[in-house]
Structure formats: structure tokens, C-alpha cells
Chain A
Amino acid sequence: MSVIVKINGQELEAAGGQTILQVAQENGIEIPNLCYDPELKPEGACRMCVVEVEDSGQLVTACTTEVSEDLVVNTESEKVVRMRKLLLELLLANHEQECLTCDKAGACNLQDYAYKYDLEDSRFKGRMRKYEGIVSDNPFFIRDNEKCILCRKCVNICDQVQREAAIGFEDRGFETTVTTAFDRPLEEVNCQFCGMCLNACPTGALMEKDAMGKARNWELDKVETTCPYCGVGCQLELNVKDNEIVKVTTNRDNVNRGQTCVKGKFGLDFVTNEDRLTKPLMKVDGEFKEVSWDEAFDTVAKRFGKIKEEYGGEAAAGLSSAKCTNEENYLMQKFMRAVMGTNTVDHCARLCHSSTVAGLAKSFGSGAMTNSINEIENADTIFVTGSNTTEAHPVIALRVKKAQKNGGKLVVADPRKIDLVKYADLWLQHKPGTDVALLNGLMHVIIRDGLLDEEYIENRTENFSAVEDIVEKYTPEYVSEITTVPAEDIVKAAHMYGEAERASILYAMGITQHTSGTDNVLSIACLAMLTGNVGKESTGVNPLRGQNNVQGACDLGALPNVYPGYQAVDDPEINKKFEEAWGVELSDEVGYTVTEIFDAIEEDKVKALYVMGENPVLSDPDSNHIREALEDAEFVVVQDIFMSETAEYADVILPAASFAEKDGTFTNSERKVQRVRKAIDPVGETKADWEIFTELANRMGYDWDYNHPSEITDEIASVSPIYGGIRYDRIEEDGLQWPCLDYDHSGTMYLHEGEFARGLGQFNPAEYMPPQEEPDKDYPYVLTTGRRLFHFHTGTMSRNAEALDAHYPEELMEMNIADAEKLGVGEGDKVKVSSRRGTVESKVTISERVPEGLVFMSFHFAESAANVLTNPALDPVAKIPEYKVCAINIEKVS
């Protein structure tokens, strides 16, 4: 119901339930405030937003007062202004005016309001709150409580948005202080260092440590760009002075809504780390020596040319990169296909979500997140499985926590007691690798108890009878035997999911990285279709993509079987279309996948490898095998921003520009194509990847004429229908979600509305198959791998980010207390971990997060490289390796 209100004489239409402040802001009327944040419940603490109600002359706070019919208010009446000035005077009496040297000056709300209301000083000066100096208990930010005006936003954000409540209030009245429980250092409490408290702080009480003393706010250029870490696609502002990123801030009108995680906020200094590759390197007699770009280009062009000539294009393989832009992935695959003449181009999506692409394409016709990130918040039930969302996709986890806080049900299925379990209504702790059984159990109960959406199944899907046949035997009791989840919890979970009006499934590597990965995904799709939860807002099947641009790299055809836009290379029509577009003859033979490439090198079928921004030595399973293959290859080019473990094996290393040094686009997990903008000049002699490919193609006799990534995007739009409407001038303000078919199309918020991409949704239920390697006498423990909040992937970025690496410098393998006792291992002790494939050493942390018999390691640390241990056994369809389960042995190192 809408109402008409009058603010400052302006008649405005407002929705019932809106506050005066919201209506004012929507209509461009500014009302000063210090404690309001759109993500928080109205606090009404600072009282700065008082406005005068005309009839009664009363003052009310605009942030807490809902509008009503015929309400007439004045936001700057004489009385209002007098009160605001007095409130500000009270604040200034307790706040040293250190604006001359304060790093917040120029971006400080208190300073702005003092200026607006012409207050030079306060008449009320007296006692001041005193603190023992600046608290600097972590590598990321400082707290200076003498500048704190007790707006309470930091505490509320930590409590209501991050839901950690790491900080709170001590004392009361005038003595109120923001601190941790018992004043313990932040590093010792549950602070996630997301930096959202900093983003919200109106004064200089919380500030980025690294930025202190480097720049006044008005000297900073804010360059809006997309975060290079995970697939959420947070929009960040790089604050640049003199070609240096001084700090990172964010604004609100975007997918992250002003929120960040520790990596985006404090982990971007890797860009200017002194270890960056700055000059092309060539291996001469086993040593790298610096060469000119000219020499490097010539060498690569000649060697690749020779290999093509001698062995044919199929002897070359390319590893594209989920870290690079869409334009660069497009050029990489175009280089391999059009210049070299092979479809062997793949990238790390093979190792994370290839089973998603395979499974969802089969079920729905399109292998991407069906719904959008901001829709998660309005789901009635969220089923999170195989996703440690708070650490791997921190900003998406905030939406999950909010949904749960809003009354939605949260069901978490994970062998580990991940952080999200804290907020879950129900936690199913199943044995690693038993996902199909668990999902079949849920479907069994949904069918048994009549929770299915019969109309939806009838009208929108096919092959339902197969589900009935297969899941019949998966009774809760039977599933309980396989998974160790209590039977009654399986029933409860099925009801929570099946009874919800809008149920959303979020999953990640815990589902995909199994030999049964594709079956897991197919079963998830069945579960969602069974209950009609695809093709509606706030529902869906939502694979959370791990890399900033893994979605884009797939979309742009960095896959051996499809051209950009998932158009099959072995479809003659499609092949012809691309031959015409690119003016060359193209191969219609599907190329090798990542995992197959290294086997093909060993079998001498592939001679030359071009690696752009990937680090297979650390990221691929069974590292020793990868190292051997790299040694065997005749010619290896690595294009990267740092010397990686893989680059050690290169013949030529080409130094690439980082995300901050170039223009382009990334596509986030929700299919949104967003801008990447150049903030600083390329470090050293580095070049953007798209420039490198353009030059190489030209040196190999092709006429590529790209002067800016936007020109590449225009070409992409012309050959890839799902990107058909993407053009730079359309995504300046906000990105577009594909499918975006033409320049008038506004993008697609959620997929499969009314009809699936493939027509009817197809049920493809599967039988449970145990993981390929199970614990035995020699290898009695199960190892599962994954990510940590403070690091990313193989650490190329995060381990070169000073604060992140200082805070979390080494691997701490998680082990259950019972196992620790058995092995005589204490917290921080070193252990030797071995599998059938190799041995690594790691320190141990003893925790309840893992059950007895299971240990967890991340794969971020070269010193404790988990992938030396992992099993390269592949899912038969998607060829994804089983990272999540392998059998290991653990010995204490004395």
C-alpha cells in the first residue's frame, strides 16, 4: 500500500512500511545520519536524523519512523538545525579535532557535518574518554577509540551482517567503549577481518593499517573494478595515488552491497609485491635469464610455429586461466584454435565445476548458477552442501546468514563442522563421498511423504519414473547406514526442503570433486526439480564458482569441446560459423582436458604447452605426475604475474599485467559480466595477456588488430549468442547477466523461467558409488581438501599479500582430538602425511571441525602441498579428479 507524504514541501509517494529516511534518500533528499546503514536494523542512536513533524512540532528520528498517510515533515527546520548543531557539539566535545593529520579527513562524516552546520569547536568541552592509544592487534587495521563516536555501526555489522559479534560494548553511559570480550586481541577472537566495520565507520576510529600516512582522501582516485579473488564478483574501489593502490573501499549499488571479505579488502597488495615478474625470462642452460620482449615473442612464435609444422596443431595444448579476463580467455582459445589449429584448450574449471557443467547441461540445458546472489536472502529454505561458504565465498555466506536470520531454514550437509553449521537449523554430517546416497534419501522421503510438486513434474520435466525406481530403496535407515547421518535427520531435512515455498540449493567443490561428481550434480538437479524449485525467484540450483572469472573462462570457450557460448566444436554448422568469423580452417575434433593433457605429454602426443595464469603443479592432483610431464614437454611457455611452481619448468616466461593494470571484464558466479578497470600502470615491463596474444598471433602470420579489450568484447558478442548484448557502454554502471541476447536485452536474473534451456527438465537419478579410494590398513585416514578464508587457490596472490600471509603463514591440518591422542600429536606439532602418491609435512591443529578418521588440508601452501597426496582418479563424464577423498597415513615427526 502506498502513501503520500510531504517532505520539505515536496509531495512524495512512498510504500507503506518505509521509513522517512528511506523515502527521503530515494528522492535525493539528504538527511544527516551517523548510525544508519541500509543493511542494519535502524538503530536510532545518533539522533542526527531528527526531523520536525509539522503538525505537532515534534522531533522524530527519520531512520526509525515509518511514513503514514499525509505525514508532513521538515528535515531542515530551525528547530531541527539547532538540535543537530547541539548534537554535533556534544560529539566534538569528546573528539580531538585532529583533522590536520587524520587519515580519514575528507571522507569523515563528522567532519562533513561539522562543515555543513558551521561548527568550529564545541562549548561543552570537559572530560574526554581516554584510551590507551591505538589498538593495533592485527596486520589489517587499527582501532583508535579516541576517534570513536559510538555510532555502534561496527558492532551492529559484526553482529547482524557478519553474525560473529566479535566486538561489543564494555561499560555504559559516558564510559561506553567498543572492544572485544575481556579486551582480547582480535586475532584471538572470532573476527573474520572482513573489514566491513571499517567500510561503515563514519570517523577515523577504524582505519586500514597499510594506508596510514600514505594519502589524504582527496588525493585518491577511486577506480571501480571487480575483485580478482573468488567468484562472487564483489565490486571494489581501488584508491590510487601516484600509481599505488593505497586502500580498497566499496560502494553499495552492486552485488556485494558495500560488503567485503578479508581478501578483497586487505589482500590486493600482491599487485605491487616486489617479487612480481617484470621482464620476460628465457631458460638458457637451466638458468633463467632476462630477455627483451622482442626476443621472447620471436622465440615463442618460432617454437610454436615449428611444432605446428612438424607435428601438427594437435601437438600443442593451452591452459587458459580463470583469473584472466573474458577478452583474454577468448583470445587464448582463439589462439589455440585459429592459430595453432587444435581444440586442446582447457583451464582449472575442469578441476572445480566440470561436473556441474556436465550435470546441469544434461538436466537443465545450461551449466551455471540458476539464480542470483541477492535472491538467496529471500529463500525459505537454503540447503548448503559441499560448500564451506563462509571461507570460500564469504559475501555469499552473508546472504545465507541473513536469510536464516530473517526466518529462513538453513540445512547444511558437510562432513566437517564448518562455520555455517553455527547458524544451521539442521546439520547433516555425512561421510565424505556419500552425497548421492544422502540426496537419494532426501528424495525418497519427499516422494514417500508427498512433498513433491506433481504439477511441475508433469508439465516441465521428463523421466520422473527413473527417480521413483532408483530412490525407492534409499530409505532413511538405509541411507543412514551409508552416510552415518541419523535417519530422523534425513526425514527432517527432506521436510524442511520439500515444504518450503522457495528452496535454494547452494553447492561447491564438496559435490563436484568426486569420481561421482557428475552423479552428485545430477542428483541435486533431481531434488530441485522434484519440488519445483527451478525457474522461480529465490530458488534454484546454485553452484558457487571458485575463481573470479571461472564462469567467464567457460563461457568464452576455454574448454576443449566448445567454442565461446557453449557451442560444440564437433557441430558442423557451428564449426562453419566460426571458420567464417575467424577466416581460418578449424578442427572439429574435441581436444584434451587438463588432466588428459599431462597424460598426453607423457605419451608424447602433446609437445608444447602454453600456460596462462595457472599453476597446475600445486592445483592439480598427484603433483609429482604433473612435474614429470612438465619436464618431459618439449616447449613450455608460462605467462604469469609471479614466478610459480609451474613457471620453474618453463622455457619462456612472459610477465603478465595483473587485474589492476588492465581493462576487461570478469563474469561472476551469477553470470554477471562486470567491468575490470585499469587502476595503475603495468608493473615493470609487464603486458596484459590480451596484448601478448595479439602480438604473438601477428608474429605467427595472422592479422589480429585489437587496440582495446572492448573491441574483443564486440567480437565476442557477434559470435556468442549468450553474450550477444554485452558491450562496454552497457556495463559501465552495472553488469549484465547472461543470457543477454542483443543490445536491447536487459539480461537474465534467473534461468529456466517457464521453460528449461533444453525444453523439459530431465531427471537423471544415480545409484550411490563409494569413493574410489577408501581407508585401509596402510592408509587408515581420509583426507579431504579445500580452502581457507585467508588464502586463495595456490597462493599466487594471497601468499604475496603481506597482511594475509602474516596472519595465516602456514598450513594447519585439521585433526580430530581422538586421532591426535592416538597419534600423540599436540596443537602445532608437525606430522608426515603420506598417500600412495607422495608425502608432505604439515603442522596440525586439533579441532572438532573434523570427525574421527578424517583430516582436512588446504592446497594453498607449497610447503605442505596437499595435492602431492590427492587421488587423480577421474569422474568418468567430466574428468574431474577426486580431490575430496583420498586415503592417507599420518606419522608424528619428532
Chain B
Amino acid sequence: MHFFEHESCGKCLPCREGNTRIYEILDRISKGEGVLEDLDKLQDLADVMSNTALCGLGQAAPTSIYSTLDHFKDEYLAHITAKVCATDTCQALVVDDEEEYERSETA
């Protein structure tokens, strides 16, 4: 999303403001600071961008949001509710302690 935020020309409202908000929400989730309502917000932002953005950039920017919400909703939920990143990509959520990891798995 950083790419789209960076590429947005700033002319149309949904792309200019939307990309930044999506990025902020994803960033929060990746740090374990996400809340469940964030998923609704992502859906809303994706909808307003794909439906109303002026050009292809803004319309296509939320494609990854749609596909991840479709196919990887459990990962979002893991990040938000369990504060866990299964793929160890989100630095803030990487767990070193094996035991703790197991505990969180069962939780």
C-alpha cells in the first residue's frame, strides 16, 4: 500500500485520502494494535476507492485488500485478536519463545 500512497497524484479525494488511511490501518494491525472494526473500515475504504476514484490507480489500489479479506481473513483475525503473525513477517508480532508461541496457538 505504501506504493499506492506514494504514487497517488492527490487530485481525487478517495485515492489521496484513502490510500493513507488503508496504510495506517494495515500498519496498526501489523503492530498488533488493530481492532475488529478495522476490517469494516478496510472494506469501506476499498469500496469507496474502487467505486469512485478518478483513475485506474485509485480504483485498483485496494485490489489487495479485497483479495486478502477474501482469502486470508484468518490471518487478519490472528493479528487483531491473538496479536500473532503466523508468517513472522510483522516484526512487532514475531515471538521468540517457543512455549509462548504454543500458548498463543492454543489460545
| Segment of A85-93, A605-613, A810-818 engaged in the interface with chain B | A85-93
Contact A173 B9 (CB under 8 A): yes
* Alpha-carbon gap, A735 to B11, bound state (A): 40
A82 to chain B, nearest CB (A): 8
Contact B10 A174 (CB under 8 A): yes
B17 partner, pick from A59, A90, A123, A152, beta carbons under 8 A: A90
Contact A90 B13 (CB under 8 A): yes
Q: Per-residue CB proximity of B1-36 to A under 8 Å, as 1/0?
A: 000011111111110111111001000000000000
Q: Does B37 contact A (CB under 8 A)?
A: yes
Q: Give 18 A-B pairs besides A90-B17, A174-B5 with Cβ atoms closer than 8 angstroms.
A: A44-B12, A45-B11, A47-B54, A83-B48, A86-B48, A87-B48, A87-B52, A91-B17, A123-B37, A124-B17, A126-B20, A126-B24, A150-B10, A173-B5, A173-B6, A173-B16, A174-B8, A174-B16
Contact A45 B20 (CB under 8 A): no
Q: Which residues of B contact A (CB under 8 A)?
A: 5-14, 16-21, 24, 37, 41, 44-45, 47-48, 51-54
* Alpha-carbon gap, A50 to B5, bound state (A): 23
* Alpha-carbon gap, A171 to B6, bound state (A): 11
A173 partner, pick from B7, B52, B54, beta carbons under 8 A: B7
Q: Does A127 contact B (CB under 8 A)?
A: yes
Residue with the greatest number of chain B CB neighbours at <10 A, chosen from A124, A169, A176: A124
Contact A83 B20 (CB under 8 A): no
From residue 45 to 94 of chain A, which have CB atoms closer than 8 A to chain B? 45-48, 50, 59, 61, 79, 82-83, 86-87, 90-91, 93-94
Measured CB to CB, the nearest residue on chain A to B20 is: A174
Q: Does A172 contact B (CB under 8 A)?
A: yes
24 sampled A-B residue pairs with Cβ under 8 A = A45-B11, A46-B12, A47-B54, A50-B52, A82-B47, A86-B14, A86-B44, A87-B48, A90-B13, A90-B17, A90-B21, A93-B21, A124-B21, A124-B45, A126-B24, A127-B24, A150-B10, A173-B5, A173-B7, A173-B8, A173-B19, A174-B5, A174-B19, A176-B10
Contact A90 B18 (CB under 8 A): yes
* Alpha-carbon gap, A271 to B1, bound state (A): 57
* Alpha-carbon gap, A61 to B55, bound state (A): 12
Measured CB to CB, the nearest residue on chain B to A94 is: B17
Measured CB to CB, the nearest residue on chain A to B6 is: A173
* Alpha-carbon gap, A94 to B5, bound state (A): 15
Contact B7 A124 (CB under 8 A): no
The interface residues of chain A lying within 8 Å CB-to-CB of B5 are 173-174
A360 to chain B, nearest CB (A): 49
By DSSP majority rule, is chain A's interface helix, strand, loop, or mixed?
A: loop
B33 to chain A, nearest CB (A): 12
- Known A123-B41, A174-B8; judge A45-B13 contact (CB<8 A): yes
The interface residues of chain A lying within 8 Å CB-to-CB of B47 are 82-83, 86
The interface residues of chain A lying within 8 Å CB-to-CB of B12 are 44-47
A113 to chain B, nearest CB (A): 12
Q: Does A175 contact B (CB under 8 A)?
A: yes
B15 to chain A, nearest CB (A): 8
The interface residues of chain A lying within 8 Å CB-to-CB of B18 are 90
* Alpha-carbon gap, A524 to B9, bound state (A): 51
B14 partner, pick from A87, A150, A173, A175, beta carbons under 8 A: A87
User: Lowest 10 CB-CB distances: which A-B pairs, in order?
Assistant: A176-B10, A173-B8, A86-B48, A90-B17, A126-B24, A47-B52, A124-B21, A174-B20, A173-B10, A172-B10
Q: Per-residue CB proximity of A113-153 to B under 8 Å, as 1/0?
A: 00000000001101100000000000000000000011010
From residue 19 to 63 of chain A, which have CB atoms closer than 8 A to chain B? 44-48, 50, 59, 61
A873 to chain B, nearest CB (A): 59
* Alpha-carbon gap, A787 to B74, bound state (A): 73
* Alpha-carbon gap, A28 to B8, bound state (A): 35
The interface residues of chain B lying within 8 Å CB-to-CB of A127 are 20, 24
The interface residues of chain A lying within 8 Å CB-to-CB of B17 are 90-91, 93-94, 124, 174
* Alpha-carbon gap, A176 to B15, bound state (A): 12
Residue with the greatest number of chain A CB neighbours at <10 A, chosen from B13, B20, B54: B13
The interface residues of chain A lying within 8 Å CB-to-CB of B9 are 172-173
Residue with the greatest number of chain B CB neighbours at <10 A, chosen from A48, A150, A174: A174
Contact A47 B14 (CB under 8 A): yes
Contact A44 B20 (CB under 8 A): no
* Alpha-carbon gap, A585 to B66, bound state (A): 92
* Alpha-carbon gap, A93 to B52, bound state (A): 18
The interface residues of chain B lying within 8 Å CB-to-CB of A46 are 12-13
B17 to chain A, nearest CB (A): 4
* Alpha-carbon gap, A51 to B17, bound state (A): 21
* Alpha-carbon gap, A176 to B20, bound state (A): 13
Contact A172 B8 (CB under 8 A): yes
* Alpha-carbon gap, A50 to B17, bound state (A): 17
The interface residues of chain B lying within 8 Å CB-to-CB of A176 are 10, 16
A123 to chain B, nearest CB (A): 6
* Alpha-carbon gap, A175 to B12, bound state (A): 13
Contact B48 A90 (CB under 8 A): yes
Residue with the greatest number of chain A CB neighbours at <10 A, chosen from B6, B17, B18, B19: B17
Measured CB to CB, the nearest residue on chain B to A59 is: B51
Residue with the greatest number of chain A CB neighbours at <10 A, chosen from B8, B16, B18, B24: B16
The interface residues of chain A lying within 8 Å CB-to-CB of B48 are 83, 86-87, 90
* Alpha-carbon gap, A755 to B52, bound state (A): 56
Measured CB to CB, the nearest residue on chain A to B22 is: A124
* Alpha-carbon gap, A86 to B54, bound state (A): 15
B59 to chain A, nearest CB (A): 11
* Alpha-carbon gap, A94 to B18, bound state (A): 11
From residue 154 to 183 of chain A, which have CB atoms closer than 8 A to chain B? 169, 171-176
